[in-house]
């Protein structure tokens, strides 16, 4: 995106301003990065319930009798395993096996699908899929019509029940449900999450967003910004598209092989992944932590082993739950073993670190 590109505003923009949010540009949107503070918001999600605006994320619908096989040819996971009302994490790859996007695919009916895609990749995903569209398959971008909220934390289910009452049960983990609200709009509830806690994503028609936000916050969900969302996902070792995932790296290098079904006869990028299976991975996305006190870790800081540069950080920060600096970096496989001693260059000074098995944070 260049400097002249317009900035999109969430349907909840005025709601955030009234709540005192600090707003920042993100993926072409003006979004809240924090309200009272990243650490406080982070710990609220770990202990109780927080609510995030995810209206910047994209939503597609796919339909048609051949849609199951078509999606299976584009995505890495096997959607034939999904029953109606179920979802899965999956990836959209280019021909060389690089990650265009990681997304969630839900099956809403036998031949109907709901996709939640990353904000910065919505237009690219849509163009890629439209260029490969087959007769009899429908693909619609419903992103402009929806607002989205992620309600996360151990108290999230209780908050939902207080808001929804007997009107609609929460779906099972990785499930989806749709209903018509008492206000007349279509609502979609998905139970997936990006924080390592129980939670759900709630999509509603854009004009209804302030009402639903007030309902959830009125029943105990605390407003949280993108800053806490980033530290929460980092503690879990979840990759961020654009930082830890890119078209230059495969999902096997990113440690996402569980979401790649190599038993499928064909999908875009499969041949490149099969070659890596045979010849070995050039790198692995590896967790690191500082072994002493140091400044916050940030993307692009160089990693050293035996005084030689071996990679750079993709994501990094201070873990509010653990109180230490944590990060992820693509490293040579020989250096990815947990406990390997390394150094991270932070503004010209080397700080001792070690590799660590993900996730960094494990629920007590």
Class of domain 8-56+144-235: alpha beta
Token pair recorded at residue 336 = 């990815």
Token pair recorded at residue 45 = 């999600």
> Which range, of 99-108, 143-152, 161-170, 241-250, averages the lowest pLDDT?
161-170
With a cut of 80, say whether residue 167 has pLDDT above it: no
- For 339-350, what is the mean pLDDT? 97
- Quickly state the pLDDT bin for 324 (edges 50, 70, 90): very high
- Using CA atoms, how far residue 119 sits from 143, 182, 331, in Å, is 10, 29, 28
**DSSP element (H, E) containing 306:** none
Domain ranges of the chain: 8-56+144-235, 283-364
pTM, whole model, 2 decimals? 0.95
With a cut of 80, say whether residue 182 has pLDDT above it: no
Give tens-digit pLDDT for 122-132. Answer: 999 999 999 99
What CATH superfamily classification does 283-364 receive?
Answer: Aminomethyltransferase beta-barrel domains (2.40.30.110)
Beta bridge partners of 344: 303, 351
Mean pLDDT (the chain, rounded) = 96
- Using CA atoms, how far residue 143 sits from 60, 130, 185, 203, 204, in Å, is 7, 16, 15, 10, 11
Give tens-digit pLDDT for 8-60. Answer: 999 999 999 999 999 999 999 999 999 999 999 999 999 999 999 999 999 99
φ and ψ of 332, to 5 deg? -55, 140
With a cut of 80, say whether residue 4 has pLDDT above it: no
Give tens-digit pLDDT for 186-198. Answer: 899 999 999 999 9
The per-residue pLDDT for 147 is 98
Give tens-digit pLDDT for 269-311. Answer: 999 999 999 999 999 999 999 999 999 999 999 999 999 999 9
**DSSP element (H, E) containing 313:** strand 308-318
- For 65-73, what is the mean pLDDT? 97
Token pair recorded at residue 54 = 């995810």
The per-residue pLDDT for 168 is 81
In angstroms, the CA 210 to CA 67 distance is: 34
């Amino acid at each position: 995106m260049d400097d002249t590109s317009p900035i999109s505003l969430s349907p909840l923009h005025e709601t955030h301003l009234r709540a005192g949010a600090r707003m920042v540009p993100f993926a072409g949107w003006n979004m809240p990065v924090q309200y009272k503070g990243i650490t406080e918001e982070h710990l609220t999600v770990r202990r109780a319930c927080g609510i995030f605006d995810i209206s910047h994320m994209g939503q597609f619908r796919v339909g048609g009798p051949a849609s199951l096989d078509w999606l299976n040819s584009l995505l890495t996971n096997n959607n034939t395993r999904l029953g109606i009302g179920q979802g899965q994490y999956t990836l959209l790859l280019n021909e060389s096996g690089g990650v265009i996007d990681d997304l969630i695919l839900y099956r809403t009916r036998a031949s109907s699908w709901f996709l939640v895609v990353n904000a910065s990749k919505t237009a690219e995903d849509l163009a890629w899929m439209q260029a490969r569209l087959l007769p009899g398959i429908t693909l619609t971008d419903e992103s402009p019509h929806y607002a989205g909220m992620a309600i996360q934390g151990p108290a999230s289910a209780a908050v939902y029940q207080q808001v929804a009452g007997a009107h609609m049960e929460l779906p099972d983990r990785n499930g989806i449900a749709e209903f018509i609200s008492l206000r007349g709009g279509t609502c979609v509830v998905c139970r997936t999450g990006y924080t390592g806690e129980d939670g759900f994503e709630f999509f509603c028609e854009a004009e209804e967003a302030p009402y639903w936000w007030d309902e959830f916050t009125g029943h105990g969900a605390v407003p949280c910004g993108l800053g806490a969302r980033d530290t929460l996902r980092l503690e879990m070792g979840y990759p961020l598209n654009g930082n830890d995932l890119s078209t230059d790296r495969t999902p096997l290098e990113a440690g996402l092989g569980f979401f790649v079904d190599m038993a499928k006869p064909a999908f875009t990028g499969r041949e490149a992944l099969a070659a890596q299976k045979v010849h070995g991975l050039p790198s692995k996305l590896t967790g690191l932590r500082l072994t002493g006190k140091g400044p916050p870790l940030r993307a692009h800081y160089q990693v050293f082993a035996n005084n030689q540069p071996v990679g750079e950080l993709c994501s990094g920060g201070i873990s509010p739950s653990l109180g230490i600096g944590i990060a992820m970096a693509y490293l040579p496989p020989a250096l990815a073993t947990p406990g390997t001693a390394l150094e991270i260059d932070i503004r010209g000074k080397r700080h001792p670190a070690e590799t660590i098995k993900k996730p960094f944070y494990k629920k007590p």
